[in-house]
């Protein structure tokens, strides 16, 4: 599996060890930065991660910031991205299985490396449940996104 990874300055401290872990379990990591601990704006990194998913370069994405919240908000602005903050293994796999979550957001100031590794493992092992109920909900989510995007275009 190919993972687009992005961090801001608050997630930077965990990044190198998390990359090493992901590679050790067979994941290919596409690193979108940050490449230094200097301050960086997470929306810029979220754009890069989202574009990797939309283009097919990556299968899923992971964002690290201080709380995970800003990364999730930014990533969810990108059409087709379903990003969630997960600091436990249940949410990490259930978000994929029930909601087709494709970007995992983690707060580097909230959880430690060991738990982050467990959360990443749960996220990458999970698969979207293709049951009618879940596919119907996903179509409704896509329709919500389209309806509001269309309104924005019509205003211009």
Catalytic positions, please?
65, 98
Q: Which residue has the tokens 């964002």?
A: 63
Are 111 and 87 in contact by the 8 Å Cβ rule? The answer is: yes
Q: How far apart are the first and last CA of the chain?
A: 39
Other CB atoms within 10 Å distance of the CB of residue 43:
15
Rounded CA gap, 46 and 65, in Å?
10
């Amino acid at each position: 599996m190919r993972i687009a990874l992005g961090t801001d300055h608050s997630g930077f401290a965990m990044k190198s060890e998390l990359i090493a872990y992901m590679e050790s379990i067979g994941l290919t990591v596409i690193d979108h930065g940050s490449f230094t601990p200097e301050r960086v704006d997470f929306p810029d990194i979220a754009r890069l991660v989202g574009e990797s998913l939309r283009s097919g370069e990556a299968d899923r994405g992971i964002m690290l910031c201080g709380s995970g919240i800003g990364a999730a908000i930014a990533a969810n602005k990108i059409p087709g991205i379903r990003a969630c903050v997960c600091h436990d293994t249940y949410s990490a796999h259930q978000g994929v299985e029930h909601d087709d979550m494709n970007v995992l957001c983690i707060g580097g100031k909230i959880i430690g490396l060991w738990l982050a590794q467990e959360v990443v493992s749960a996220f990458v092992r999970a698969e979207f449940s293709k049951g009618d109920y879940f596919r119907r909900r996903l179509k409704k989510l896509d329709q919500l996104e389209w309806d509001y995007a269309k309104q924005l275009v019509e205003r211009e």
